[in-house]
Amino acid sequence: GRLLNLGNATGHPSFVMSASFTNQVLAQIELWTKGEEYNNDVYILPKHLDEKVARLHLDRIGVKLTTLAKDQADYIGVTPEGPFKPGHYRY
């Protein structure tokens, strides 16, 4: 599948697919472990999981993420642990 996808230039690069599949798996785990918190509806992936997917892929693109200091977090109005963007923001 991967070779055909990349070789025929009809699909996304494997890195994009990895991020997409990671989103799907984390969403499934969220539903499995916290299913009682959700109604039968359509949801956007919670921000903390969206940011977890990003963190899991940083090493592949050579990025090192540092932790915000308390004064930095206060300045931009977030907690040092995140989430770092409002819920409506899409990466």
Residue 46 host element (H or E): none
Any domain includes 89: no
Residue 51 within a domain: yes
Does 63 reside within a domain?
Answer: yes
Token pair for residue 90?
Answer: 């899409």
Within a domain: 88 = no
pLDDT tens, residue order, the chain (91 aa): 566 666 666 677 788 888 889 999 999 999 999 999 999 999 888 888 888 998 899 988 899 888 899 999 999 998 998 888 877 776 6
Q: How far is CA 33 from CA 27, 28, 29, 39, 87, in A?
A: 10, 9, 6, 14, 21
Residues contacting 89, CB < 8 A, separation 6+: 47
**Encoding tokens for residue 79?**
């907690």
Does residue 83 fall inside a structural domain?
no
Sequence letter at residue 29: I
Number of domains in the chain: 1
- Give the domain range for residue 27: 2-76
